[in-house]
Amino acid sequence: MSKVQEKEGFSDTTASYLAGNLIEAGTETTSSTLYAFIQAMVIFPEVMKKAQEEVDRVVGPDRLPTMDDEPNLQYIRACVKESLRWMPPAITGAIPHCVIQDDEYRGYKIPKGAAIIHNVYSINMDPARYPDPRRFEPDRYKDDFQNASDAATASDVSKRDHFTFGTGRRLCQGIHVAERSLFLGISRLVWAFDVNPAADSDGRLIIPDTDSYTSGFVVMPTPFKARLTPRSEKRAGLIRVEWKQAEEELLDPVTKQWKA
Ligand code: HEM
- Whole-number pLDDT of residue 169: 81
Give the tens place of pLDDT for each residue, 68-84: 999 999 999 999 999 99
With a cut of 80, say whether residue 260 has pLDDT above it: no
> 116 has which bridge partners?
97
Q: Is residue 4 part of a domain?
A: no
Give the pLDDT confidence score for residue 248 in this predicted structure: 94
Q: Is 171 part of a structural domain of the chain?
A: yes
How far is the CA of 76 from the CAs of 83, 146, 236, in angstroms? Answer: 10, 13, 20
| Predicted pLDDT at 60 | 97
C-alpha 175 to ligand 1 mean position (Å): 7
Per-residue confidence band for 46, with pLDDT thresholds at 50, 70 and 90: very high
Tell me how far CA of residue 246 lies from CA of 19, 114, 239, 256, 260, in angstroms: 21, 46, 11, 12, 15
> pLDDT tens, 130-179?
999 999 999 999 999 999 999 999 999 999 999 999 988 889 999 999 99
Residue 51 maps to a domain: yes
Cβ atoms < 10 Å from Cβ of 11: 9
Contacts of 15 (CB under 8 A, 6+ apart): 1, 2, 5
CB of 124 closer than 8 Å to CB of 130: yes
pLDDT per residue over 26-41, tens digit each? 889 999 999 999 999 9
For the cut 90, the answer to whether the pLDDT of residue 229 exceeds it is yes
HEC readout, 33-88: HHHHHHHHHHHCHHHHHHHHHHHHHHCCCCCCCCHHHHHHCHHHHHHHHHHHHHCC
Pocket test for ligand 1, best of 164, 172, 182 (most atoms within 8 A of CB): 172
Q: How far is the CA of 97 from the centre of ligand 1 (A)?
A: 14
Task: Report if residue 256 sits inside a domain.
Answer: no
Residues with CB under 6 Å of ligand 1 are 21-22, 25-26, 29-30, 33, 89-90, 93-95, 164-166, 170-174, 177-178
Cβ(48)–Cβ(41) below 8 Å: yes
Q: Is 79 annotated as a binding residue?
A: no
CA of 173 to the centre of ligand 1 (A): 5
Tell me what the mean pLDDT of segment 8-15 comes to. 92
Residue 192 sits in a domain of what CATH number?
1.10.630.10
Count of domains forming the chain: 1
CA torsion sign, 144 to 145 to 148 to 151?
A: negative
CB 36 within 8 A of CB 86: yes
Domain membership of residue 7 (yes or no) is no
- Give the range of the structural domain holding residue 202, as residue numbers without chain letter: 13-250
In this predicted model, what pLDDT tens digit does every residue of 16-25 receive, in sequence order?
Answer: 999 888 888 8
**Cβ atoms < 10 Å from Cβ of 180:** 15
| 172-218 tens-digit pLDDT | 999 999 999 999 999 999 999 999 999 999 999 999 999 999 998 89
- Closest ligand 1 atom to the C-alpha of 97? 15
Ligand 1 centroid–CA 250 distance in Å is 23
Mean pLDDT of 35-49: 98
pLDDT, position 109: 96
Going by C-alpha positions, the residue among 51, 81, 49, 89 that lies closest to residue 182 is 81
pLDDT at 94: 81
Q: What is the pLDDT of residue 1?
A: 82
Tell which residue, 234, 228, 194, 219, has the closest CA to residue 87: 219
Residue 201 maps to a domain: yes
pLDDT at 26: 84
- pLDDT for 27 equals 87
